[in-house]
Amino acid sequence: MAQVALRDVNKFFGTTHVIRDVDLEINKGEFVVFVGPSGCGKSTLLRLIAGLEKLTSGEIEIADRAIMDLPPSKRGIAMVFQSYALYPHMTVFHNMAFSLNLQGFSKSEIAERVTAAAKTLQMEHLLDRRPAALSGGQRQRVAIGRAIVRNPDVFLFDEPLSNLDAALRHETRVEIAKLHKQLDATTIYVTHDQVEAMTLADKIVVLKDGVVMQVGSPMELFNNPANEFVAGFLGSPKMNFFEGEMTSVTVDNTAADFRGADFSAGNVSLVSKEKAKGEKVKLGIRPQHLRLDPKGEITGSITLIERLGTETVVELMTPSNTQFRFATPEQLDLELGDNAQFSFDQTKAHLF
Ligand SMILES: Nc1ncnc2c1ncn2[C@@H]1O[C@H](COP(=O)(O)OP(=O)(O)OP(=O)(O)O)[C@@H](O)[C@H]1O
Ligand SMILES: [Mg+2]
């Protein structure tokens, strides 16, 4: 049984339709990430589950109960926000104990739960401090601790790492992943950062304009994107797209030949199955799937080289002015203005 189920969920703000016909099942213990560009409806969808916004239509179940009429406190959820929202005048202990006090737990039960959560988060030594005496990462850990003590059916996170600097963001991301393994709690996590989505999720939900574009494991979405949007959104650097025309297609519509302004390619997997021979298509090739090859069909002149140490990213321009990128772990002996030629792995390319 699904731990969280959304059926035909819609949300309007006034006349603006921000969540459109969302159907989703989240299993017990699963780590699900809602990802998509700013304004696509990630927070709204999370807030509908939390009960901070009211549905316009549809149903939501948590642990087999319809929860639409329940207030947030009765839904079996605990939420962690981007702004930690700690009480500045209370110690870490009392911040974490606050909701348990409200719920009328005994002093000993509260102390037990708070100590256990502090131990899990390795911050027992911070329990007597006030938030002002903590770093950003430590404050976010308190906010996570405050969620843990409630022992919820579902954890909800809305961009919890956005206020942290890059190093701390990485560190806290790893901690959240470990914590999830340890607690095995169902988690829904909102981010616009595709790296967070790829590294944390068991299941990614890609949203665009309030519509679910694809649901699947990180590798399913990376290897078999259902559309150009998902293909372009996941992966860094972004997938290259070359415009052209479909010159022939197999009877079962699974593969097709492509002719672009600069080069042709045969037998590429066809994602947009509704397309017919002669129609305009885009050939998508990830920067990592190009390889330097003096006999390769793709030619480009180098416009930028980024040497990242672990990876070199080269930006190029084809003769017909299509920009594309090549990424390689090697430290290339190439310079701005050089011409380079590439072949690519046909089996990893897609036509949209
Ligand atoms: N209270 C509100 N009243 C009216 N419109 C709203 C309200 N809250 C959100 N919206 C609109 O709904 C859409 C979705 O907003 P939402 O906050 O869910 O996006 P998001 O994906 O979380 O974006 P971000 O990554 O910037 O946080 C946006 O167009 C936003 O302007
Ligand atoms: Mg948001």
pLDDT tens-digit map of 265-279: 999 999 999 999 999
CA distance 205 to 197: 9
Contact of 298 with 316, CB cutoff 8 Å: no
Amino acid in position 34: F
Ligand nearest to the CA of 211: 1
Q: What pLDDT score does 190 carry?
A: 97
Q: Whose CA is nearest to atom 1 of ligand 1?
A: 13
Amino acid in position 115: T
What spacing in Å lies between the alpha carbon of 43 and ligand 1's midpoint?
7
CA distance 46 to 174: 22
Q: What is the pTM of this model?
A: 0.92
What spacing in Å lies between the alpha carbon of 137 and ligand 1's midpoint?
26
Ligand nearest to the CA of 209: 1
Q: Whose CA is nearest to atom 28 of ligand 1?
A: 39
SS3 sequence of 32-71: EEEECCCCCCHHHHHHHHHCCCCCCEEEEEECCEECCCCC
Ligand 1 cavity residues, CB under 6 Å: 13, 16, 18, 36, 38-44, 192
Tell me what percent of the residues of the chain surpass a pLDDT of 90.
89
pLDDT tens-digit map of 84-132: 889 999 999 999 999 999 999 999 999 999 999 999 888 999 999 999 9
Q: What pLDDT score does 167 carry?
A: 84
pLDDT tens-digit map of 164-182: 888 888 888 998 999 899 8
Q: What pLDDT score does 1 carry?
A: 67
Q: Whose CA is nearest to atom 30 of ligand 1?
A: 39
Pocket test for ligand 1, best of 40, 45, 48, 233 (most atoms within 8 A of CB): 40
CA-based nearest residue to 9, from 26, 28, 24? 24
What spacing in Å lies between the alpha carbon of 125 and ligand 1's midpoint?
38
pLDDT tens-digit map of 34-89: 999 999 999 999 999 999 999 999 999 999 999 999 999 999 999 998 888 899 99
Q: Which residues neighbour ligand 2 (ion) by CB within 5 Å?
A: 43
Question: Which atom belonging to ligand 1 lies closest to the Cα atom of 46?
Answer: 18
CA distance 343 to 266: 12
Ligand nearest to the CA of 207: 1
Share the mean pLDDT of the chain.
95
pLDDT tens-digit map of 297-336: 999 999 999 999 999 999 999 999 999 999 999 999 999 9
Q: Whose CA is nearest to atom 3 of ligand 1?
A: 13
For the chain, report the end-to-end CA distance as a whole number of angstroms: 35
Alpha helices in the chain (DSSP H): 42-50, 92-102, 107-120, 136-148, 166-183, 194-200, 218-223, 228-233
Pocket test for ligand 1, best of 43, 56, 82, 233 (most atoms within 8 A of CB): 43
> 309 CB contacts (<8 Å, ≥6 apart)?
none
Q: What is the mean pLDDT of residues 259-264?
A: 97
What spacing in Å lies between the alpha carbon of 35 and ligand 2's midpoint?
10
